[in-house]
Amino acid sequence: MLRLADGTVLPLSGHSDRITSMTSSPDGRYLAIASADGTAQVWDAATGKLVSTLGGNGSPALTSLGFSPDGRLVLTADNKGFVRVWDAGVGEPAAELAAPAHGTVVSLGFTSSGSQVSGIDVDTSTGTNAAITSVAALTWSARTGQLERSVPLPGIAPTAAPCSAALQALGNPVASPLTGCHLPPPPRLAQSVPVTRQYAIASDGDYTVTQVLAVAASPDGTDVAYARAHSVAVLDSSGRQVAALPVDGSPTGLAFGPGPDELMVMTTTAIYLWQPLGGRPSLEVSQPSAPIDAAVSANGSVLAAADTGGTVGVWNAVTGKAVRTFRPSDNHSSSYYSPMPLRIAVSADGSVVASGNADGTVFLWDTASGKLIAVQRVSTWPILELSPAPSGSALLAVDWLQPNSASARPGTGKVLAFATGRVIASYSSPTPADPATPIDPGAGLSPDGSFIYAGSLGLAPTPPGGSLTVYQVTGGQAMTGLPTFLESGAASYSEFPADPWSPDGTLILAGNSVYRCDACQALQGLQATAESRDKWSVPLSVGSDRPPATDPYA
Residues 55-99 have pLDDT tens digits of 765 678 888 787 777 676 777 777 776 666 676 665 556 777 888
Note the pLDDT of residue 474: 61
State the pLDDT at residue 455.
Answer: 60
User: pLDDT tens digits for 371-406?
Assistant: 999 999 988 888 988 989 888 889 989 887 655 455
Return d(Cα 38, Cα 4) in angstroms, integer.
30
Count the neighbouring beta carbons within 10 Å of the beta carbon of residue 220.
14
What's the gap between Cα 217 and its chain centre?
A: 17
**CB neighbours (10 Å) of residue 472?**
17
Rounded to whole angstroms, the Cα distance separating 279 from 223 reads 16
**Confidence (pTM):** 0.79
How confident is the model at residue 102, as a pLDDT?
Answer: 81
Sort strands 383-388 and 394-399 into parallel, antiparallel or unpaired.
antiparallel
Q: Which helix (H) or strand (E) holds 208?
A: strand 206-213
* SS3 call for 22: strand
pLDDT attached to residue 487: 40
In angstroms, the CA 534 to CA 376 distance is 43
Q: How many other C-beta atoms can be found within 10 angstroms of the C-beta atom of residue 428?
A: 18
3-state helix, strand, coil in the chain (%, to 5): 5, 40, 55
The span from the CA of 484 to the CA of 468, in Å, is: 8
Residue 442, classed as helix, strand or coil, is coil
Across 218-334, the runs of DSSP E, i.e. the strands, are 224-227, 231-235, 241-246, 251-256, 263-267, 270-274, 283-286, 291-296, 302-307, 312-316, 322-326
Closest residue by Cα to residue 88 from 20, 25, 18, 14: 25
DSSP 93-107: EEEEPPP-SSSEEEE
Give the C-alpha separation, 357 to 344, whole Å. 9
**Bridge partners for 93 per DSSP:** 515
Integer Cα distance of 459 and 411 in angstroms: 7
* pLDDT at position 476: 57
* Domain extents in the chain: 1-90+511-541, 95-263+270-282
pLDDT at 305: 98
How many CB atoms sit inside 10 A of residue 545's CB? Answer: 15
Q: Residues 235-276: pLDDT tens digits?
A: 999 999 999 999 988 999 999 999 889 999 999 999 999 999
- pLDDT > 90? residue 441: no
Length of the chain in terms of residues written: 554
Q: What is the mean pLDDT of residues 4-24?
A: 78
- The secondary element (H helix, E strand) that includes residue 524 is helix 523-528
In single-letter form, the type of residue at position 190 comes to A
pLDDT at residue 486, as a whole number = 43
Distance CA 170, CA 274 (A): 34
DSSP codes, 159-186: B-----HHHHHT-TTTEETTTEE-PPPP
Q: How far is CA 293 from CA 88, 91, 355, 384, in A?
A: 38, 34, 10, 11
Tell which phi-psi region holds residue 37, choosing left (phi > 0), alpha (psi between -120 and 50) or beta.
alpha
Phi, psi of 528 (to 5 degrees): -65, -25
Question: Taking Cα atoms as reference points, which of 498, 500, 501, 510 lies closest to residue 293?
Answer: 498
- By CB neighbour count within 10 A (0-12 exposed, 13-18 middle, 19+ buried), where does 191 fall? buried
Please state which of the ranges 124-138, 209-223, 527-541 shows the lowest mean pLDDT.
Answer: 527-541
Mean predicted lDDT score pLDDT of the chain = 79
What is the per-residue pLDDT for 535? 38
Whether the pLDDT of residue 119 is over 80: the answer is yes
Q: Give dist(CA 321, CA 307) in Å, integer.
A: 17
Per DSSP bridges, beta strands 191-198 and 206-213 are antiparallel
| Beta-sheet strands, E only, within 371-448 | 372-377, 383-388, 394-399, 412-417, 423-428, 444-445
Q: In the prediction, which pLDDT does 175 show?
A: 76
Which backbone phi and psi does 83 adopt, to 5 degrees? -110, 125
pLDDT band at 538 (very low <50, low <70, confident <90, very high): very low
pLDDT tens digits, one per residue of 161-197: 788 888 888 877 777 766 677 788 888 899 888 788 8
CB 460 within 8 A of CB 428: yes
* Residue from 313, 328, 437, 422 nearest 383 by CA: 328
Classify domain 1-90+511-541 by CATH architecture.
Answer: 7 Propeller (2.130)
Backbone angles phi, psi at 474, to 5 degrees: -70, -35
- Strand ranges (E), 454-533: 468-472, 478-482, 507-510, 513-516
Alpha helices in 60-211 (DSSP H): 165-169
User: Which carries the bigger pLDDT value, residue 551 or residue 240?
Assistant: 240
